Amino acid sequence: MCGRFDLHTPRPWIAEHWFGITHPLGDSVARYNTPPGTSITIIREHDGVIAFEFAHWGYRPPWAGDDAPKPINAKAETVATSKYFRSAFQRQRCLIPANGWFEWKQGPNGKQPYYITQVDAGPKDVIFFAGIWEGSTETGFCTAVLTEPAASNLQHIHNRQPVVLDPECRYDWLSSALTEREQIKEAAHRLDPERLTCWSVTPAMNRPDQNDPSIIEPLK
């Protein structure tokens, strides 16, 4: 699953490095400990143009009632057929940039948090989660992260993980011209799991107000 992640790379750097966007688009504060229910960066296509937006992390389509759930994740196995998600999956896919994410491993003394990121990642290197978005009368946009069974090198921590896309497929994933399930499936190239690494981190990160670089450092 994905219930907490880190994004400290500035939006303008991501926009220019990965999409050639140089016009001002608003920066964001580094957030090493991003919890659900907050505003996060998404990247979407609108009328053929790549746009960086802020979206509420908790998905509820406009047609759902006020008491409808706001899931933060959508299962990749059912997102194309679920009434709640299928329209967004068909035409409103997004990328959610992150430097890494957190998962918890159950142990004899409770849950130990782990940080998962790219092998030999530089200070600004990001990964891209596959996501879906919807318009929201409350927040402008809302979003959910797609999840799938964990890769073999991460299963010892948790049995699910975010869908992490190879950045080479970023434009195809965002393209609203791809609407058929099989087309989208073929476009969604995963990042090689061997390019991901993990280490245990301080349990202090369990508190969302702990937001500094120390929470992603390996546990001593």
Which of 3.30.420.10, 3.40.1390.10, 3.90.1680.10, 3.40.50.300 would CATH assign to domain 5-216? 3.90.1680.10
Alpha helices, DSSP H, located in the chain? 11-19, 86-91, 170-174, 181-187
Distance separating alpha carbons of residues 3 and 9, to the nearest angstrom: 19
- How much is the pTM? 0.96
How high is the pLDDT of residue 65?
A: 87
- Give the residue ranges of DSSP H helices in 20-75: none
If DSSP codes are grouped into helix, strand and coil, which group holds residue 80?
coil
Q: What is the pLDDT of residues 168-188, one digit of tens each?
A: 999 999 999 999 999 999 999
**Tens-digit pLDDT profile for residues 141-150:** 999 999 999 9
Choose between 151 and 29: higher pLDDT. Answer: 151
Enclosing H/E stretch for 114: strand 110-118
Q: 146 in helix, strand or coil?
A: strand
Q: Please report the pLDDT score of residue 136 as a whole number.
A: 79
| Cα–Cα nearest to 171, from 9, 48, 57 | 48
**Residue 1 clears pLDDT 80, i.e. is over it:** no
pLDDT, one tens digit per residue, over 51-104 is 999 999 999 999 998 899 999 999 999 999 999 999 999 999 999 999 999 999
